[in-house]
A and B are shown apart, each in its own frame.
Chain A
Amino acid sequence: MTGGQIAGAATLPSAPPAMPLQDTVLLPERLGELTGLDGFGLGGELLATFLAAFIVGNLMLAMTGVAGPWAKRKITAAFTDRIAVNRLGPAGLFIILADSVRLLSKELVIPENADRPAYDLAPIVVASSALLGFAVIPMGSGIHLADPEVGLAYVFAVSGIASLGLVMAGYASSNKYSLLGGLRAVAQNIAYEIPLVITGMSIVIFAGTLQLGEIVSAQAKPLLTIAGISIPSWYALVNPFAFVLFLVANFAEVGRNPFDTPEAPTEIVAGYQTEYSSVYFVLIYLGEFLHIFLGGAIIATIFLGGPAGPGPAALGIVWFIIKIWAVFFATQWLRSAVPRVRIDQLIEIGWKGLLVLSFANLVLTAVIVGLIA
């Protein structure tokens, strides 16, 4: 019995079985076949790859568009017993278009003491670094841009670039609130990055690989069967403690309540984005939302079985988006329900609480896996 388990666990990463959820064909190749572009040699392949990247990028942009001007207001309104946007279109949905035009047509006011190249680059860094992470996320229904072997490490690495953008924004604005906001953002991101990665590592122990496609297919195995219903071994069920740790660290990492000290409106106006207006503000805002969704995508991928769900595998993207939105909804729920912690409390929670707990989780997971095997 135990021997079989060991062998099963060991051969898991190297043997790709015909899992219904695992798409071995990535989106660029699939598009290449679909459009006949792969018949045009390298140029056609590159075009198909670019097309695939364009689809993934705009899918995320569309989700941010729905979340920022519309869903966020609706959710907060529901929590505070209001109605919120309801004038334009069904359920106020056209506010998305109206708001994007409104925000983009604002005058761009650049503060006189701004450090120009850095001030202009910061919004671009924040927005594009958040988008980069989605390249390796398996979203189901064949929407999976790339599946490198270092997948999980790559996601953590690129999501860390945003800190650079935030400190650039904070420092180059030449505003005291911005400076404080930028410093806080970095102190917070680096404090919670480590619990995040360490907890992710405890999942890597189970999966035995960093490749996100493999991590997803490893979760398709049944954990146990109750009354004929097979429960998949989603790592949130295998190790709920790690799931909670990761969730908390993720909320801090994307700077949401109760950890939204970098832009605490009652303390430092709007933090690093105080001096940003017009399209620059839109880009920073976009980057923040993309980061929430990227966090949700990582959680869905390594804890909630990625695009897995009832029904045919073609529904994968629907389940995946539902899981991402569940995490987004949780951030908005906390925004309405939980008070903000002070910056010194935040640092202590990170370094004295979550870091120690995440190491305990890692060591315990390793010991338990070692003893069972």
Chain B
Amino acid sequence: MCVRFEPSNVTEMNDWIAIGALALVGVLIPFGMMAVSYLLRPTVPETSKRATYESGEIPTGGTRIRFNIQYYMVALLFVVFDIETVLLFPWAVAYQDALAADIPLVRALGPMLLFVAILLVGLAWAWRTGAVQWARTPRQLESDRP
């Protein structure tokens, strides 16, 4: 496929060059600050200074521990919904045009509603199984008791 240098094509290219330039600036600014700080700051090594902060106590145990499964559950849920947002964006952009082109509402809106409905079933499942509820209410604790 040949690249034609139409005006729109050129600006589109410039857009991403400009974004790349800002990315470069965005990296140069932190490095500049780090360089300035390197010139200004003192270095006074001391053995206990580098100990992990644990409210002034001697740190106990490591950090590479098993943490709560709850964090994984919401992350899994997020992946589903995030992909869904990516898939919905094209629909949102095309929706008005589709209506203007006299495509019936059922065809323009129906598939999106079905898609969202399927996702909401997933959310309802997560809701029921307690994936998005991290603390038990007193009533739930009561009913858990044998």
Contacts and interface: CB of A to CB of B under 8 A. Distances in A.
B135 to A, nearest CB: 4
A277 to B, nearest CB: 10
B29 interface: yes
- Give the interface SS of chain B, mostly helix, strand, loop or mixed: helix
Contacts of A153: 86, 89
A69 interface: no
A147 B15 contact: yes
Given A28-B14, A50-B24, A348 B133 contact: yes
B95 A366 contact: yes
B35 to A, nearest CB: 9
Contacts of B40: 101, 104-105
Nearest to A130: B26
A205 B95 contact: yes
Contacts of A7: 100
Given A131-B25, A201-B89, A10 B97 contact: yes
Interface string B17-45: 11101111111011101101110111110
Contacts, number: 255
Given A49-B21, A175-B52, A370-B99, A351 B74 contact: yes
B15 A373 contact: no
A135 interface: yes
A124 B134 contact: no
B96 A205 contact: yes
A205 B133 contact: no
Contacts of A367: 109
A194 B93 contact: no
B22 A56 contact: yes
A6 to B, nearest CB: 5
B85 to A, nearest CB: 5
Given A28-B14, A50-B25, A127-B30, A208 B85 contact: no
Interface residues of B, number: 74
A299 interface: no
A145 interface: yes
B132 interface: yes
A146 B19 contact: yes
Contacts of A366: 95, 109, 112-113
A49 to B, nearest CB: 5
B82 interface: yes
B134 to A, nearest CB: 4
Contact of A210 (B50, B81, B89): B89
Interface of B: 11-12, 14-19, 21-27, 29-31, 33-34, 36-38, 40-44, 49-55, 62-65, 67, 70-71, 74-75, 77-78, 81-82, 85-86, 88-89, 92-93, 95-97, 99-101, 105, 108-109, 112-113, 116, 120, 123, 126-127, 132-135
A191 interface: yes
B18 A49 contact: yes
Given A101-B40, A132-B26, A177 B53 contact: yes
A197 B85 contact: yes
Contacts of A56: 22, 25
The 3 closest A-B pairs by CB, nearest first: A10-B100, A128-B26, A344-B134
Contacts of A52: 18, 21
- Give the interface SS of chain A, mostly helix, strand, loop or mixed: helix
A175 B49 CA distance: 14
A169 interface: no
Given A26-B11, A351-B74, 19 more contacts: A10-B101, A28-B17, A28-B18, A45-B14, A53-B25, A54-B25, A107-B44, A108-B43, A146-B18, A147-B15, A174-B64, A175-B63, A178-B63, A183-B67, A187-B70, A204-B89, A363-B113, A369-B99, A370-B105
Interface string A102-138: 0011111111110000000001100111011011100
A132 B37 contact: no
A79 B126 CA distance: 41
A49 B15 CA distance: 10
6 contacts: A53-B18, A57-B25, A132-B22, A146-B16, A208-B96, A269-B55
Contacts of B19: 132, 135-136, 145-146, 148, 154
A343 interface: yes
B93 A208 contact: yes
Given A134-B22, A359-B120, A175 B77 contact: no
A111 B33 contact: no
Given A52-B18, A190-B75, A370-B105, A174 B93 contact: no
